């Protein structure tokens, strides 16, 4: 029985679809392999950076220098990681209301304060308390800070 042109068309179309699927799988595998190589290179670079700082910390003469070197090391590592994440995700990071607004806190209005910490209420801080800045990591995994009211003795 001879093969019709319609049969030949569908046979060729199926083979072309299979070929395109195989090419897509190969591209994905190649991209995964390249990404793993990049990750290994990045991790090795971070390891070398950390090792060099660790050596400098061990050779430091006093505690002040050790603390300074540790802080500098942590800052450089955090910056490298955040730069890598920004390169991996080049979207606009300022897309949530949390990033667009300013956190405003205040005292309880029932205690006689105006409930505003922007100076409009005239209350100030209660006796025995102070504002303390705390460094945090926000929802988008970026370094940030918040102000907290803490009691001191």
User: For the stretch 4-24, what's the b/e string if a residue is b when 16 or more beta carbons lie within 10 angstroms of its beta carbon?
Assistant: eeeeeeeeeeeeeeeeeeeee
Question: Which residue is listed with tokens 């083979």?
Answer: 15
- d(Cα 108, Cα 150) in Å, to the nearest integer? 15
List average pLDDT for each run of 10 residues in the chain, which is 153 residues long: 81 86 90 90 92 92 92 93 83 56 54 47 73 84 83 72
For 30, 42, 50, 56, the CA distances from 16, given in Å and listed in that order, are 21, 39, 51, 60
User: Within a domain: residue 94?
Assistant: no
Per-residue model confidence (pLDDT) at position 119: 44
User: Within a domain: residue 6?
Assistant: yes
Partners of residue 147 on adjacent β-strands: 133
User: Within a domain: residue 104?
Assistant: no
Same domain, 17 and 77: yes
Structure tokens at 73: 């090391």
- Biggest CA-to-CA distance, the chain: 100
User: Within a domain: residue 95?
Assistant: no
Same domain, 48 and 10: yes
Asked if 38 contacts 32 with a C-beta cutoff of 8 angstroms, the reply is no
Expressed as residue numbers, the domain containing 5 is: 1-89
User: Within a domain: residue 98?
Assistant: no
Same domain, 14 and 46: yes
Overall number of domains in the chain: 2
Same domain, 38 and 78: yes
Strand, helix or coil at 113? coil
Q: Which residues contact 100 (CB under 8 A, 6 or more apart)?
A: 94
- d(Cα 104, Cα 114) in Å, to the nearest integer? 13
User: Within a domain: residue 71?
Assistant: yes
């Amino acid at each position: 029985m001879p093969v019709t042109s319609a049969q030949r068309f569908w046979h060729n179309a199926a083979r072309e679809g299979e070929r395109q699927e195989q090419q897509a799988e190969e591209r994905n595998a190649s991209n995964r392999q390249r990404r793993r190589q990049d990750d290994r290179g990045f991790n090795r670079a971070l390891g070398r950076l950390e090792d060099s700082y660790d050596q400098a910390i061990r050779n430091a003469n006093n505690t002040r220098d050790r603390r300074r070197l540790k802080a500098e090391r942590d800052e450089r590592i955090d910056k490298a990681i955040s730069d890598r994440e920004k390169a991996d995700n080049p979207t606009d990071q300022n897309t949530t209301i949390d990033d667009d607004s300013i956190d405003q806190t205040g005292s309880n209005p029932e205690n006689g304060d105006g409930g505003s910490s922007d100076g409009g209420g005239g209350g100030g801080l209660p006796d025995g308390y102070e504002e303390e800045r705390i460094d945090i990591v926000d929802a988008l995994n970026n370094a940030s800070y918040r102000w907290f009211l803490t009691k001191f003795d």
